[in-house]
């Protein structure tokens, strides 16, 4: 199976969510940035700080498209993603 590549010029490590709580990585089901869906559903990148906070609080976030968990999408450090 060929790995899915990030869309719209985004990076593979980027993770996004909307105001409804949907979570996707840059490779899956992300609406086109700037589109009516992007704006109307208020999509935004989940920052490394927010990912770390979710983890600290025992939360769970995984891409709804491919099932990857953020710690598998990006290695989170105190400095940021790498």
Give the pLDDT of residue 36: 96
Average pLDDT, the chain: 79
Task: Please name which of 18, 27, 11 lies closest in space to residue 61, comparing C-alpha atoms.
Answer: 18
Give the pLDDT of residue 40: 96
Q: What is the pLDDT of residues 12-26, one digit of tens each?
A: 778 899 999 899 988
Q: What is the pLDDT of residues 52-71, one digit of tens each?
A: 888 888 887 788 888 877 65
- Where do the domains of the chain lie? 15-73
Please state, in angstroms and as integers, the Cα–Cα distance from residue 27 to each residue in 8, 18, 45, 56, 58, following that order.
Answer: 9, 16, 13, 25, 25
Which carries the bigger pLDDT value, residue 38 or residue 74? Answer: 38
Backbone angles phi, psi at 26, to 5 degrees: -65, -10
Would you say residue 76 has pLDDT above 50?
Answer: no
């Amino acid at each position: 199976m060929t790995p899915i590549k990030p869309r719209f010029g985004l990076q593979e490590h980027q993770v996004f969510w909307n105001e409804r709580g949907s979570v996707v990585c840059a490779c899956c089901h992300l609406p086109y940035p700037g589109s009516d869906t992007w704006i109307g559903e208020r999509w935004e990148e989940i920052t490394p700080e927010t990912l770390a906070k979710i983890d600290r609080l025992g939360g769970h976030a995984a891409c709804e498209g491919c099932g990857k968990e953020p710690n598998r999408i990006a290695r989170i450090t105190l400095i940021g993603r790498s």
